[in-house]
């Protein structure tokens, strides 16, 4: 780049170096900008504007320690002029970039004290509160901005985020509608609104908003990535992969695009493709709890339980209240027979969400495995209370009652499971066992026969035992010929005759 020689006029003039620094700052040539501001300050140690713009250059360059250098510059301005609200504001920005949200808030407070109408300070203070997870104070700041300036679009956008975090989706949509009314070409508003519609399952509306964002900016890789996710949720995997490919053409290192492509492969059941894409997304965005969770799910489905546990654990580290991660990690522990740890994780999921019927159901399964039938029944009962049409919960509770020799309740639960799912061979088999135990041989034979007819691949499951159990029922009825046929079939299928 050709040197901009504005110093040839007077190399001892601080203002000349300052102007040249401003030209480089505008061109985003931060190194040269800093060199020139250094020279201006060396010539005039009280040059507030030079300190201010050098601080901007450090903040924007964002190399290691640059934010500390920016803070020093704004601190020097404050020494020179303690009433400079913009110096406090920019020092706060540097603190926020360092992740020091408390100090950022202190400085935003000072800027607002000096200028109570400083809307950008309210906005950035709201973002700092978001960084601390203090959504209530963030919300208050965005409200204050809107009171001061009802046309401040980004206050509506961020307030919609707070509403979304709190689960107030209708209010979030109202804020985004307002942002779009203020600026019909606001891409961020369309993108955010599409995400909320996706979360609510309104996929057609989500697609319309995402497509609008793409129409407004055909080179918006993130919009294509978002639309990929929507198509994936709708089960339109070909279109999802097409959109993710377009996103990656526009931005090969777009972490979200790579993540949603991996998510799409996961949704397709293509775990071999999902894992490398999700791994790449994690490399680009190691803080992405959803990427760790999704890869963990892919490992879980691939029966790589140790890797699954590692990923779910990382997701939990990054997002402490990640209920689904606790549930799936518990399932992985269950698969490696670590029922104690599985119960611990299911219990944590229930503590986070007491209405999680799946967590109660699967914790019941863990209790069933360790023969703690009372606790298993309690968990299945709670799952049924939350979802009365949960056939598996009725089935498993029936198994627990059967193991406790409470045959009447076992029959009642298996009958309900069959009512809810008439093709449940397991429920017929277990109800047959209960009928056999109470010597109701005709009903036992009928249930075993139904289980066998519903499970043509019985040789790969314990329904080979159905022939044996049915043989016992026939034997008890005195039908030795049919009993011997069933015993022979059971032997053929590898069932050990007791």
Same fold, 150-218 and 436-498: yes
In the chain, domain spans: 150-218, 436-498
For residues 407 and 310, what is the distance between their CA atoms, to the nearest angstrom?
A: 42
pLDDT of residue 9: 54
pTM beyond cutoff 0.85: no
Place of tokens 């080179």: 219
pLDDT of residue 114: 97
Place of tokens 């075993």: 448
Contact 410, 430 (CB under 8 A): yes
pLDDT of residue 1: 33
pLDDT of residue 495: 79
Contact 463, 441 (CB under 8 A): no
pLDDT along the chain (498 residues), means of 10: 46 90 96 95 95 94 90 95 96 93 96 97 96 94 98 97 93 97 96 92 95 95 93 94 96 94 96 97 92 98 98 94 96 98 98 96 98 98 96 98 98 97 94 97 96 70 83 96 93 79
Exposed, middle or buried: residue 431 (CB in 10 Å: 0-12, 13-18, 19+)? buried
The third-level CATH classification (topology) of the domain covering 436-498 is 1.25.40
pLDDT of residue 3: 42
Q: Which architecture, in CATH terms, is 150-218?
A: Alpha Horseshoe (1.25)
pLDDT of residue 4: 45
208-241 CB burial, b ≥16 within 10 A, e <16 = ebbebbbeeeeebbbbbbbbbbbbbbbebbebbb
């Amino acid at each position: 780049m050709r040197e901009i020689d504005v110093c040839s006029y007077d190399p001892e003039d601080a203002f000349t170096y300052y102007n040249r620094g401003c030209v480089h700052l505008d061109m985003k040539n931060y190194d040269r900008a800093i060199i020139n501001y250094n020279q201006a300050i060396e010539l005039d140690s009280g040059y507030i504007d030079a300190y201010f713009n050098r601080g901007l250059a450090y903040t924007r360059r964002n190399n290691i320690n640059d934010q500390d250098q920016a803070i020093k510059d704004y601190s020097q301005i404050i020494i020179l002029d303690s009433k400079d609200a913009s110096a406090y504001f920019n020092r706060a920005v540097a603190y926020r970039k360092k992740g020091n949200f408390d100090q950022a808030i202190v400085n935003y407070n000072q800027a607002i004290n000096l200028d109570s109408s400083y809307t950008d300070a309210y906005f950035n203070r709201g973002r700092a509160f978001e960084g601390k997870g203090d959504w209530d104070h963030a919300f208050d700041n965005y409200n204050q901005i809107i009171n001061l300036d009802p046309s401040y679009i980004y206050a509506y956008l961020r307030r919609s985020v707070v509403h979304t975090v709190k689960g107030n989706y209708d209010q979030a949509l109202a804020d985004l509608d307002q942002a779009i009314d203020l600026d019909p070409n606001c891409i961020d508003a369309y993108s955010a609104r599409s995400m909320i519609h996706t979360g609510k399952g309104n996929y057609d509306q989500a697609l319309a908003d995402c497509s609008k964002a793409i129409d407004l900016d055909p080179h918006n890789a993130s919009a294509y990535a978002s639309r990929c996710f929507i198509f994936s949720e709708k089960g339109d995997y070909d279109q999802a992969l097409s959109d993710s490919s377009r996103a990656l053409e526009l931005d090969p290192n777009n972490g979200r695009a790579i993540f949603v492509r991996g998510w799409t492969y996961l949704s397709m059941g293509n775990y071999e493709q999902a894992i490398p894409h999700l791994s790449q997304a994690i490399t680009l965005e190691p803080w992405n709890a959803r990427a760790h969770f999704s890869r963990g799910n892919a490992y879980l489905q691939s029966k790589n339980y140790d890797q699954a546990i590692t990923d779910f654990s990382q997701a939990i580290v990054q997002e402490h209240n990640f209920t689904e991660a606790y549930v799936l990690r518990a399932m992985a522990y269950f698969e490696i027979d670590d029922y104690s740890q599985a119960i611990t994780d299911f219990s944590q999921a229930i503590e986070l969400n007491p209405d999680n019927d799946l967590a109660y159901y699967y914790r019941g399964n863990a209790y069933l495995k360790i023969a703690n039938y009372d606790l298993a029944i309690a968990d299945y009962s709670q799952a049924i209370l939350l979802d009365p049409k949960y056939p598996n919960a009725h089935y498993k509770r029936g198994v627990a009652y059967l193991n406790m020799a409470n045959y009447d309740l076992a029959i009642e639960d298996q009958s309900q499971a069959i009512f809810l799912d008439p093709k449940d061979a397991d429920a017929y088999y277990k109800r047959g066992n209960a009928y056999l135990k109470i010597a109701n041989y005709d009903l036992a034979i009928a249930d075993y026969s139904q289980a066998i007819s519903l499970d043509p691949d019985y040789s790969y499951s314990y329904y080979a035992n159905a022939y044996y159990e049915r043989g016992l029922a026939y034997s008890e009825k005195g039908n030795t010929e049919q009993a011997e046929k069933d015993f022979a079939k059971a032997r053929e299928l590898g069932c050990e005759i007791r």
